[in-house]
Amino acid sequence: MKRAVPTPAEPTHRSRPPRCGPPAFFAARLSAHRELTGGYFELSFTYDEGPDLRGVVPGAFVMVRGSWDADPTGPRAFSILDAPEPGRVTILLKVYGRGTARLAALRPGAAVSLTAPLGRGFSATTAGGPRRLLVAGGVGLPPLHLLARRAAQAGLAGAVTMIYGGRDADDLVLVEPLRACGVEVVLATEDGSAGVRGRVTAPLAERLDAAAAARTPVEICACGPEGMLRAVRSLALARRVPAQLCLEANMACGFGACLGCAVPVYGPRPYRYCCTDGPVFDAREVRW
Amino acid sequence: MKRAVPTPAEPTHRSRPPRCGPPAFFAARLSAHRELTGGYFELSFTYDEGPDLRGVVPGAFVMVRGSWDADPTGPRAFSILDAPEPGRVTILLKVYGRGTARLAALRPGAAVSLTAPLGRGFSATTAGGPRRLLVAGGVGLPPLHLLARRAAQAGLAGAVTMIYGGRDADDLVLVEPLRACGVEVVLATEDGSAGVRGRVTAPLAERLDAAAAARTPVEICACGPEGMLRAVRSLALARRVPAQLCLEANMACGFGACLGCAVPVYGPRPYRYCCTDGPVFDAREVRW
Amino acid sequence: MNAAARPDLSVSFAGMAMPHPVMVASGCFAYGEPFAPFFDLSKLAGIATKGISPEPRAGNPAPRIWETPAGMLNSIGLENVGVEAFLRDKLPFLADLGVRVWVNFFGEDFDGYVACARALDRGRAHIDVLEMNVSCPNIEKGGIEFGMVPEVAHDLVRACCAQTAIPIVVKLSPNASDNVAIADAVRAAGAAGVSLVNTITGMAVDVRRRRPRLATTYGGLSGPAIKPVALRIVHQVHRALPDLPICGMGGIRSGEDALEFLMAGASCVQIGTANFAEPTVALRVLDELSALCVDLGIDRLAEVVGCLEPWPPEPPWEETPP
Amino acid sequence: MNAAARPDLSVSFAGMAMPHPVMVASGCFAYGEPFAPFFDLSKLAGIATKGISPEPRAGNPAPRIWETPAGMLNSIGLENVGVEAFLRDKLPFLADLGVRVWVNFFGEDFDGYVACARALDRGRAHIDVLEMNVSCPNIEKGGIEFGMVPEVAHDLVRACCAQTAIPIVVKLSPNASDNVAIADAVRAAGAAGVSLVNTITGMAVDVRRRRPRLATTYGGLSGPAIKPVALRIVHQVHRALPDLPICGMGGIRSGEDALEFLMAGASCVQIGTANFAEPTVALRVLDELSALCVDLGIDRLAEVVGCLEPWPPEPPWEETPP
Ligand SMILES: Cc1cc2nc3c(=O)[nH]c(=O)nc-3n(C[C@H](O)[C@H](O)[C@H](O)COP(=O)(O)OP(=O)(O)OC[C@H]3O[C@@H](n4cnc5c(N)ncnc54)[C@H](O)[C@@H]3O)c2cc1C
Ligand SMILES: Cc1cc2nc3c(=O)[nH]c(=O)nc-3n(C[C@H](O)[C@H](O)[C@H](O)COP(=O)(O)OP(=O)(O)OC[C@H]3O[C@@H](n4cnc5c(N)ncnc54)[C@H](O)[C@@H]3O)c2cc1C
Ligand SMILES: Cc1cc2nc3c(=O)[nH]c(=O)nc-3n(C[C@H](O)[C@H](O)[C@H](O)COP(=O)(O)O)c2cc1C
Ligand SMILES: Cc1cc2nc3c(=O)[nH]c(=O)nc-3n(C[C@H](O)[C@H](O)[C@H](O)COP(=O)(O)O)c2cc1C
Ligand code: FES
Ligand code: FES
């Protein structure tokens, strides 16, 4: 049971992802509800009082709960897809279980409560920095979508490549807006119905090989299912390429109160928290 | 703990209310949803497969549950307001707690499950029978509304008087359709905003007095909150007027499986069941 | 693994073969009759009857039920027709269905239990299991339930087993702090298995009327709310006593719920509260279970009983990554 | 009854005056800091800290939480900064708020409890209550929780009380079969009151991966699902030991929930799980409680503590109506 743990001081990080402002808890309403292919929904929430989320770091998230009774008890975490104006935030939701099903069934006008902004996100794309390979799997798209659009806004569309995988063509959404802003998008589907057949790791490995051959410095930013992230991490560690992984964990609060979202890590303490220390972690730090 | 109980034989009744056909459990959808005043909703459910409820006895009820997850766990009981055609049933719902709130929030098209027809209802109004004083309080309206319309359809509108009470004018709904079919309606509101000021028992007592003076045989059919039914029962017993009371009880199943809806009675056994023996009981039988 | 084939859902409980594991729970299916209008009851693996006592019981005052978040409280008060009327009026209907008949029973004191077991033995031709409910307050021992103390439960079960050739399955209360000890005691006393779990004692308050929601103050909590507790007890007992057959229940309302119980160690399951909202729930659970087997590549359901594996350990923690 | 006047919400717990009864529960409010962005914490009646142990603890492997119908399971593993870091880094923040500080604590063995109580006594100027969590497995006694056996709990509480002048309130586990006996034992050992209840042990199963949902297999169930069980235990203990102050908790998320606990016999309440979904829930509960008092004509909230009346008996049954 008992482990030796050093007295907790704020742990030092090799790459500490940037943090958003202090979180607020506020009432909002569902203002737009768009069903995409593959069981995805784009939901927009608007609110009169609450934080301006426009400047939010890609990877930051919002906890969402409908104004329902006892079940599901907790809110659910969603990466911020966009915050186009003050008082408005957009998420991409895939129906997975009870909570997401109930959120997807809400009608425009429905009251929800939000806690945001939460988490530490990906570092910003810089002009002189390494080329960035964004690896998105399934519902891991939103933070990287935002990251890519931010890069494009900063005139750095050419510095990022999105490698985006899913089960089939229907499972890949919101690709056009990315291409429209000049971002290169490589698709991979398990059934080959769009892009290359297979997993994202194959095109990723190709790009890493090419970069190694050309001696171009690259960096991976990945978000997706745990299996994919484990594979990406192995690739990155084996090739000594820096990688930032946006993780998921079961979350009860999202703001550091429950200690439920432990992520096993190497470092001064055995666990860090997906919600307050992440969700973006350095691949080397994650104890998988 | 232990009570002496006679070996259970089917108890003999002085006035055994008529029973509906065997119940079915079937899928339906909300087809119409009309908000009335006072927090009342008229909900219509349509279904392809399920019993024809047109001939249902007034007082019969349906158990309704939305197709939601774990909470609320149970269905809720609603008197059948109308069954205008095969494959369609209408209820009058007042938002009271968690279950009714969730049902009222359903949108047309929503899937629900119904168990119906259930219960034993009021006896039919007959041409040579006693004059009927229908006493409805609040959400107790639907079975008596149906009873009155049935009487009118049988050309016996003149044989029934509806005495209908609520908190205020908003709390009284669906009065016009009754008047339209020739039924006399006496309204009573606690704040005097419609009809006579006060409770239904005052106009009821008046009518009983008048009938006694005129030696007109009368019978009471009542449905409403327990307080009202207790008052009606006292009046009826004191004046030796026959009375049928449509009771409520907390119900888990509605069809005799849980034994949760016990109604204390006089008779061969100390309890009978609101769902299978009632909800309509002879006032003398009820052990209050 | 042949996902296209129909999975084999048969299980065996204490040596008794069952076509599939889905039964219905005591007190939630009466004596079967109220469900006859809804579906063909012979599709059930078995029916546990309302609890039977030596004498008829009128039950508790009203109100007897109250709904709580994802659950319900009941204080039916073990109302039942009594063993004689049961054998005469109710058992024939059940016997005709051709499903396993589990007669749930109890007594108001030690002798009552014994007398009830003896009387029920007369129905042995049609009764597959006597499911002994030890959650009744033991009036002789200060009102504590018979099922709370291992020694008390042991003696009671032994005395009942001596009365009958019908296998006795003891239904334990989740209120006991150590269900493993009690399961072990009743096993040693001759029980053929255990049913886990009965309701958890709870209450609710009407703040407007300043009184409990139930006339008896306390009632038994059932439904989805208690599923985690029921699963835990099934798993604890199965891990400690892997050879003791377990019938699992508590909040089951889907095929996945049922499979959770089987994987935790139950050989069969009972559905209780869910029958009220959905009288045909057992059929749906059975269908879902079958579909889930296909989906998960389970050919023989019996093989997954108690199959849970613990989580693999995390890589050891070090200050600097390896 | 003057419905227009502001109701007096003040209560007293074990002789300590509180402006109102709404606190937040251990493990659900960390050491207070994560909630500072959301509201003015001085509006709380008190804060129960995350459980503190003599040494820092890293907590359990992931995953540590899982949601269940109307509840959640957690196996945080009593992760905490340890008593020294608590006194140094966390207590000053809490002390500055001016709310009652309840320091929840435990040890990994008998001596650990005693050492922790002694160390915490050094913070006595800023600590109002030591809330002693006896739901930890007692390694010396075969892993059964300290709070399951009255004698064990008694000795432990007495030893801790001897270490400190701070009142000790013992937090009991709903897993115990007889909470009244344990409450009585800890009262006799010097406890100033009891906190009722901690989480109920439960589990959930991932049928696809054939393993438990939590890395540690079992976890503690909290949230609305357990409210009926918590209320029952509060009522049982209050009825048996009316002079023992009770802090009630388990699934509270509305003013009406809080009032249910007060009426059942709690002098104050704590909100746990609900803080996660709604960080400002305590303020809402307080507002609702105040509005409910106005609505129900309660002038002084303290007067309704334990005010529940049993149901009036039904008229006696007779074959023919009187
Ligand atoms: C930082 C973060 C960002 C996310 N971003 C998105 C997004 O942009 N779009 C999207 O569709 N989904 C996102 N998710 C996942 C989303 O929160 C899950 O789909 C959701 O939690 C599963 O909930 P459910 O109610 O549908 O499933 P259920 O089957 O009800 O499962 C919910 C249960 O799963 C547990 N659980 C499992 N995975 C998670 C999880 N990842 N987070 C919280 N609880 C979990 C919870 O404890 C709860 O008990 C994100 C999750 C995290 C942690
Ligand atoms: C035979 C019958 C006919 C009814 N007809 C109508 C009708 O036509 N229109 C209408 O609006 N309402 C009707 N009701 C009442 C309706 O079922 C209640 O409003 C409803 O049960 C309260 O549920 P809720 O979820 O809103 O309240 P909650 O506060 O969630 O209370 C529901 C809880 O109350 C208990 N409960 C309390 N009263 C009842 C009750 N009467 N029936 C079932 N459970 C109860 C349940 O056990 C449950 O725990 C009828 C009830 C019965 C028994
Ligand atoms: C209304 C009701 C009555 C019950 N009566 C009995 C009974 O007579 N004997 C018994 O052993 N269990 C009885 N139970 C317990 C159930 O059989 C079952 O163990 C429990 O409800 C948990 O399962 P569930 O959550 O699926 O309902 C009763 C439960 C309910 C809800
Ligand atoms: C994530 C979590 C952590 C908890 N940690 C502790 C703890 O450290 N010490 C303790 O005594 N209780 C702990 N509890 C129990 C709560 O304080 C509370 O007693 C219980 O959750 C019931 O209340 P609720 O339903 O309002 O959450 C914890 C509960 C949760 C959900
Ligand atoms: S989700 Fe609660 S601490 Fe991270
Ligand atoms: S409601 Fe279940 S028996 Fe009447």
Cis check for the bond before B75: say yes or no (omega within 30 of 0).
no
The response to whether residue A182 sits with its C-beta less than 6 Å from ligand 5 reads no
> What is d(CA D136, CA C260) in angstroms, rounded to the nearest whole number?
27
* Neighboring chains of A (3 or more beta-carbon pairs < 8 A): B, C, D
CB-CB under 8 Å, B69 with A102: yes
| Contact D142/B at CB under 8 A | no
> What is d(CA C145, CA C176) in angstroms, rounded to the nearest whole number?
9
Answer yes or no: is pLDDT of A272 > 50.
yes
The model's pLDDT over C49-94, given as tens digits with 9 standing for 90+, comes to 999 999 999 999 999 999 999 999 999 998 999 999 999 999 999 9
Structure tokens of D79?
């992760």
The position carrying tokens 């039977």 is: C52
> What is d(CA C213, CA D263) in angstroms, rounded to the nearest whole number?
12
Mean pLDDT of D257-282: 98
What is the pLDDT, as a whole number, of residue D145? Answer: 80
∠C68-C73-C74 over CA atoms, to 5°?
Answer: 155
Q: Are D226 and D173 in contact (CB under 8 A)?
A: no
CB atoms within 10 A of CB D70: 27
Mean pLDDT of D30-52: 97
Q: Are B134 and B165 in contact (CB under 8 A)?
A: no
Residue C27 Cα to ligand 3 midpoint, Å, equals 5
ipTM over 0.85: yes
Min Cα distance B238 → chain D (Å) is: 12
What is the pLDDT, as a whole number, of residue D142? Answer: 64
The model's pLDDT over C96-139, given as tens digits with 9 standing for 90+, comes to 999 999 999 999 999 999 999 999 999 999 999 999 999 876 66
Window 39-78 of D: residues touching B by CB (8 A cutoff) are 69-70
Per-residue pLDDT of chain B in tens (288 residues, 90 and over written 9):
334 444 333 434 445 777 777 999 999 999 999 999 999 999 999 999 999 999 999 999 999 999 999 999 999 999 999 999 999 999 999 999 999 999 999 999 999 999 999 999 999 999 988 999 999 999 999 999 999 999 999 999 999 999 999 999 999 999 999 999 999 999 999 999 999 999 999 999 999 999 999 999 999 999 999 999 999 999 999 999 999 999 999 999 999 999 999 999 999 999 999 999 999 999 999 999
Please give the distance of CA D77 from its chain centroid, rounded to a whole number: 17
Q: What confidence category does residue C143 fall into, taking pLDDT thresholds of 50, 70 and 90?
A: low
What is the pLDDT, as a whole number, of residue A7? Answer: 38
Mean pLDDT of C190-207: 97
- Ligand closest to A279 (CA) is 1
- The more confident residue out of C141 and B99 is B99
* Neighboring chains of C (3 or more beta-carbon pairs < 8 A): A, B, D
Answer yes or no: is pLDDT of A17 > 80.
no
What is the pLDDT, as a whole number, of residue B7? Answer: 38
E strands present in chain C = 11-13, 16-18, 22-24, 46-48, 65-68, 71-74, 100-105, 129-133, 168-171, 193-196, 200-202, 205-206, 211-212, 219-222, 246-249, 268-271
SS (H, E, C) chain B: CCCCCCCCCCCCCCCCCCECCCCEEEEEEEEEEEECHHHEEEEEEECCCCCCCCCCCECEEEEEEECCCCCCCCCEEEECCECCCCCEEEEEEECCCHHHHHHHCCCCCCEEEEEEEECECCCCCCCCCCEEEEEEEHHHHHHHHHHHHHHHHCCCHHHEEEEEEECCHHHCCCHHHHHHCCCEEEEEECCCCCCEECCCHHHHHHHHHHHHHHCCCEEEEEECCHHHHHHHHHHHHHHCCCEEEECCCCCCCCCCCCCCCEEEECCCCCEEECCCCCEEEECCCECC
What is the pLDDT, as a whole number, of residue A212? Answer: 92
| Residue ID of nearest Cα to ligand 3 atom 14 | C27
Q: Write down the mean pLDDT value for chain A.
A: 92
Q: What confidence category does residue A20 fall into, taking pLDDT thresholds of 50, 70 and 90?
A: confident
What is the pLDDT, as a whole number, of residue A169? Answer: 94
What is the pLDDT, as a whole number, of residue B11? Answer: 39
Closest CA to B228 of B207, B193, B204, B211: B204
> What is d(CA B222, CA D210) in angstroms, rounded to the nearest whole number?
57
Q: Write down the mean pLDDT value for chain C.
A: 95
Min Cα distance C320 → chain A (Å) is: 6
Contacts of B70 in chain D (CB under 8 A): 69-70
What is the pLDDT, as a whole number, of residue C135? Answer: 85
The model's pLDDT over C249-303, given as tens digits with 9 standing for 90+, comes to 999 999 999 999 999 999 999 999 999 999 999 999 999 999 999 999 999 999 9
Q: What confidence category does residue A21 fall into, taking pLDDT thresholds of 50, 70 and 90?
A: confident
Catalytic residues of D: 136
What is the pLDDT, as a whole number, of residue C141? Answer: 66
Q: Are B78 and B22 in contact (CB under 8 A)?
A: no
What is the pLDDT, as a whole number, of residue B6? Answer: 40
As a whole-number percent, the residues of chain C with pLDDT over 70 amount to: 96
> What is d(CA B175, CA B177) in angstroms, rounded to the nearest whole number?
6
| Contact B240/A at CB under 8 A | no
What is the pLDDT, as a whole number, of residue D143? Answer: 66
Give the type of residue at C70. Answer: A
Min Cα distance C301 → chain A (Å) is: 24
> What is d(CA C246, CA C261) in angstroms, rounded to the nearest whole number?
10
What are the residues of chain B with a beta carbon less than 8 Å away from any beta carbon of chain D?
A: 3, 69-71, 264, 266-268, 270, 284-285, 287-288
Mean pLDDT of D35-48: 97
As a whole-number percent, the residues of chain D with pLDDT over 70 amount to: 96
What is the pLDDT, as a whole number, of residue B150? Answer: 95
Query: Environment class of residue D102 by beta-carbon count within 10 Å: exposed (0-12), middle (13-18) or buried (19+)?
Result: buried
Look up the pTM and report it: 0.95
Closest CA to D169 of D181, D180, D183: D183
- Ligand closest to C71 (CA) is 3
CB atoms within 10 A of CB B21: 15
Mean pLDDT of A118-128: 93
* Closest CB from A70, A264, A267 relative to C319: A267
CB-CB under 8 Å, D176 with C203: no
CB-CB under 8 Å, C211 with D308: yes
Q: Is D312 helix (H, G, I), strand (E, B) or coil?
A: coil
For testing contact with chain C, the best of D57, D60, D68 (most C CBs within 10 A): D68
The model's pLDDT over D135-150, given as tens digits with 9 standing for 90+, comes to 876 666 666 788 899 9
Catalytic residues of C: 136
Window 270-299 of D: residues touching C by CB (8 A cutoff) are 292, 296
User: What residues are paired with D80 via a beta bridge?
Assistant: D57
What is the pLDDT, as a whole number, of residue A18? Answer: 78
CB-CB under 8 Å, C55 with B2: yes
Give CB contacts under 8 A, 24+ apart, made by C297-302.
C297/C1, C297/C3, C298/C7, C299/C1, C299/C2, C299/C5, C299/C7, C299/C8, C300/C7, C300/C8, C300/C10, C301/C7, C301/C8, C301/C9, C301/C10, C301/C11, C301/C20, C301/C21, C301/C262, C302/C8, C302/C10, C302/C11, C302/C12, C302/C267
Mean pLDDT of D258-270: 98
The model's pLDDT over A64-119, given as tens digits with 9 standing for 90+, comes to 999 999 999 999 999 999 999 999 999 999 999 999 999 999 999 999 999 999 99
Answer yes or no: is pLDDT of D25 > 90.
yes
What is the pLDDT, as a whole number, of residue A222? Answer: 97
Min Cα distance C127 → chain D (Å) is: 33
Answer yes or no: is pLDDT of D2 > 90.
no
- Ligand closest to B272 (CA) is 6
What is the pLDDT, as a whole number, of residue A10? Answer: 40
What is the pLDDT, as a whole number, of residue B5? Answer: 41
CA nearest A63 in D: which residue?
Answer: D277
